[in-house]
Amino acid sequence: MEAFTKQKSVWIRTVSYEELAVNTGKTIRYRGEEVALFKLGSGKLQAIQNRCPHKDGVMAEGIVCGEHVFCPLHDRKIHLPSGIVQAPDTGCVKTYATKVEDGQVYIEFPGADELAC
Ligand code: FES
């Protein structure tokens, strides 16, 4: 019989919500993962994998428009809530849950078996 230890997801405190600039990405690193955190014009938070599925463009350096971010390298358009690359391109990035508690932004990093986009 084989025993498996499941790595549980964990909420990590990152930055102050008020200090996050609107429509400007912030790179967050935890446990070898890199996340691009965005505060949209609506005030809503979105967090996605920080590397473009095309050729590893840094998504935190992308241009935000509404609920999309454009990769800074070759302009692929990614829907922030779903992580889906918009047509005519294809692919996806992981998305991360966020929450605000006591003015601090938390990101949920999933367990090792939940990492696919
Ligand atoms: S690396 Fe993002 S579109 Fe090419």
CATH number at 104 reads 2.102.10.10
Q: What is the pLDDT of residue 61?
A: 98
Q: What is the pLDDT of residue 117?
A: 65
Specify if 4 maps to a domain: no
pLDDT below 50 — which residues of the chain?
1-2
Q: Report which ligand 1 atom has the smallest distance to the Cα of 71.
A: 2
Chain centre to alpha carbon of residue 46: 6
Q: Is 12 exposed, middle or buried (0-12, 13-18, 19+ CB in 10 A)?
A: middle
Specify if 117 maps to a domain: no
Q: What is the pLDDT of residue 1?
A: 46
- CB of 90 closer than 8 Å to CB of 52: no
Specify if 6 maps to a domain: no
Specify if 54 maps to a domain: yes
Q: What is the pLDDT of residue 6?
A: 62
Q: Based on the structure, what is the number of domains in the chain?
A: 1
Domain that holds residue 24: 11-109
Q: Whose CA is nearest to atom 4 of ligand 1?
A: 74
Specify if 1 maps to a domain: no
Fill in the DSSP letter of residue 59: G
Q: What is the pLDDT of residue 110?
A: 84
Please tell me the distance between residue 77's alpha carbon and the centre of ligand 1 in angstroms: 9
